[in-house]
């Protein structure tokens, strides 16, 4: 027994040495996060490889943190707790304008949201006719829902939201008479009803830039350049595969900049928790 104890104690300095050595491999540690749209396990599978890839390329430690719920995510995000974030254009715009983030890399293309009704609907010809009606949509601060609500200057005239999770469920909810109209991305509508047999469009919003990564001022400009290079090269395809597959982002991501996201944050400023 004494020999076992001595042997155990002799290993402790080596363990501490290895721990310190591993820590010294990285110049700094940065916190990376994204909205909790999926389970923690699914999120880790999607974002974990990106954090590992960036750690290897930049020589800084990137740690992915699953926020657990939207309340935690919103609070930490607006309080500047995250160093690297991937989410929608309205959040990126907010961070660029109020938290001095730089928007680095985006998914190609953009968001064009449309308001739709069933083919046999004759009462609703525009969003103005949606007052007093029900709309299938995600709860705020979803981009599509905020885009919809921003078209009503008087909150009392906004339609009642039927909280529906998932774009396909929003479409099905409308078709199955669970609501009077619906809001979803045009590209999703084309996938669900390419010949427009079941629905018709009553509203088309201005196209917005796509989801993107932004970095806080704590991340040096030199490291930001490395992040851009790491995430836009085809050699990063393995690390970003989960994200690109989820959002149908093609073979690689694209470089982004703050200017193309300017003023998109306006649709957030009426939401609780966001301020100017």
Contact 184, 167 (CB under 8 A): yes
| Size of the chain in residues | 276
**CB atoms near residue 94 (< 10 Å):** 27
pLDDT of residue 27 exceeding 90:
no
Residue 149, token pair as written in the block: 């609500």
C-alpha 137/C-alpha 132 separation (Å) is 15
Instruction: For residue 18, give Cα distances in angstroms to 13, 15, 58, 63, 130.
Output: 9, 5, 21, 19, 63
Q: Is 273 helix (H, G, I), strand (E, B) or coil?
A: coil
Residue 213, token pair as written in the block: 């990564």
- For the chain, which domains are there? 23-109+209-268 (3.40.190.10), 113-205 (3.40.190.10)
pLDDT of residue 260 exceeding 90:
yes
pLDDT of residue 205 exceeding 80:
yes
The mean-pLDDT minimum among 141-150, 224-233, 265-274 falls in 265-274
Q: What is the pLDDT of residue 1?
A: 47
Residue 40, token pair as written in the block: 């923690």
Q: Is 56 helix (H, G, I), strand (E, B) or coil?
A: helix
For residue range 147-183, what is the model confidence (pLDDT) as tens digits? Answer: 999 999 898 999 999 999 999 999 999 999 999 999 9
Return the ∠ at Cα 237 (arms to 253 and 59), rounded to 5°: 90
| Entry pTM | 0.84
pLDDT of residue 276 exceeding 80:
no
* Exposure string for 198-216, b = 16+ CB within 10 A, e = fewer: ebeebbebeebbbbbbbbb
How large is the average pLDDT for residues 97-116?
95
Peptide bond into 17 cis (omega under 30): no
Query: Residue 23 — very low, low, confident or very high, per pLDDT cuts 50/70/90?
Result: low
Q: Is 85 helix (H, G, I), strand (E, B) or coil?
A: strand
For residue range 50-73, what is the model confidence (pLDDT) as tens digits? Answer: 999 999 999 999 999 999 999 999
Query: Residue 124 — very low, low, confident or very high, per pLDDT cuts 50/70/90?
Result: very high
pLDDT of residue 12 exceeding 80:
no
C-alpha 250/C-alpha 208 separation (Å) is 18
């Amino acid at each position: 027994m004494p020999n076992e104890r001595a042997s155990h104690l002799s290993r402790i300095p080596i363990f501490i040495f290895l721990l310190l050595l591993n820590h010294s491999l990285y110049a700094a540690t940065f916190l990376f996060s994204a909205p909790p749209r999926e389970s923690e396990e699914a999120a880790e599978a999607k974002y974990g490889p990106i954090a590992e890839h960036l750690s290897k390329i930049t020589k800084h430690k990137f740690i992915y943190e699953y926020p657990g719920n939207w309340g935690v995510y919103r609070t930490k995000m607006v309080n500047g707790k995250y160093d690297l974030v991937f989410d929608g254009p309205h959040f990126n715009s907010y961070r660029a304008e109020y938290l001095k983030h730089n928007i680095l890399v985006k998914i190609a293309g953009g968001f064009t949201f449309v308001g739709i009704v069933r083919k046999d609907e004759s009462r609703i010809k525009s969003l103005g006719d949606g007052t007093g009606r029900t709309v299938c949509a995600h709860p705020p601060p979803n981009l599509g829902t905020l885009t919809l609500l921003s078209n009503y200057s008087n909150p009392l005239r906004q339609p009642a939201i039927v909280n529906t999770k998932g774009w396909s469920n929003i479409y099905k909810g409308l078709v199955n008479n669970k609501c009077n109209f619906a809001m979803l991305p045009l590209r999703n509508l084309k996938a669900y009803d390419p010949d427009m047999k079941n629905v018709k469009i009553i509203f088309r919003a201005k196209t917005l830039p796509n989801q993107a990564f932004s970095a806080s001022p704590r991340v040096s400009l030199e490291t930001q350049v490395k992040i851009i290079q790491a995430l836009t090269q085809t050699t990063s395809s393995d690390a970003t595969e989960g994200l690109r597959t989820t959002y149908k982002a093609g073979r690689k991501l694209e470089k982004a900049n703050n200017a193309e996201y300017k003023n998109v944050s306006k649709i957030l400023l009426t939401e609780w928790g966001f301020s100017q």
